[in-house]
């Protein structure tokens, strides 16, 4: 399953009004750590295909959504369940750490900042 692009215009339709778990990578093209996280998000999208949706939102081009969720540092990985923000992690987390958070979100036990 591919990682889809989010915008201010389609965020509500693709995330806020969606059932299930969605992981959103808030990033920007000039951000070095963001470029390290991108391939990890791609790998996770394949591993969790059918269970979790993955998306990317360029914060430079979509400041409305970024502001709505208080994104001040990137990369920020946001976790949404049934359209509600349930947590986020800031920084270039390794794949294993992101997997742990995804598993917690899937079972409803999220303890992220």
Give the model confidence (pLDDT) of 74-101 as tens digits.
999 999 999 999 999 999 999 999 999 9
Average pLDDT, the chain: 93
Write down the pTM of the prediction.
0.93
CA distance 13 to 77: 19
For residue 77, what are the domain limits?
A: 4-107
pLDDT tens readout for residues 1-27:
589 999 999 999 999 888 899 999 999
Which one is catalytic: 21, 23, 34, 98? Answer: 34
User: Is 76 among the residues known to form the active site?
Assistant: no
Residue 112 lies in a domain: no
End-to-end Cα spacing for the chain:
28
Which one is catalytic: 23, 31, 57, 71? Answer: 31
User: What CATH number is given to the structural domain containing 20?
Assistant: 3.40.30.10
User: Is 31 among the residues known to form the active site?
Assistant: yes
Query: Is the peptide bond preceding residue 13 cis, with omega within 30 degrees of 0?
Result: no
Q: Where are the beta strands (DSSP E) in the chain?
A: 4-6, 21-27, 52-58, 76-81, 84-90
**What's residue 110's pLDDT?**
66
CA distance 65 to 26: 10
Residue 36 lies in a domain: yes
How many domains does the chain contain in total?
Answer: 1
Is it the case that residue 111 has pLDDT exceeding 80?
no
């Amino acid at each position: 399953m591919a990682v889809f692009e989010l915008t201010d215009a389609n965020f509500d339709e693709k995330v806020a009004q969606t059932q299930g778990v969605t992981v959103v990578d808030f990033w920007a093209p000039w951000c070095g750590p963001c470029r390290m996280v991108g391939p990890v998000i791609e790998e996770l999208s394949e591993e969790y295909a059918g269970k979790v949706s993955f998306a990317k939102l360029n914060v430079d081009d979509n400041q409305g959504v970024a502001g709505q969720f208080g994104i001040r540092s990137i990369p920020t990985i946001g976790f949404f369940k049934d359209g509600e923000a349930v947590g986020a992690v800031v920084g270039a987390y390794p794949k294993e750490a992101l997997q742990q958070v995804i598993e917690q979100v899937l079972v409803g036990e999220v303890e992220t900042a």
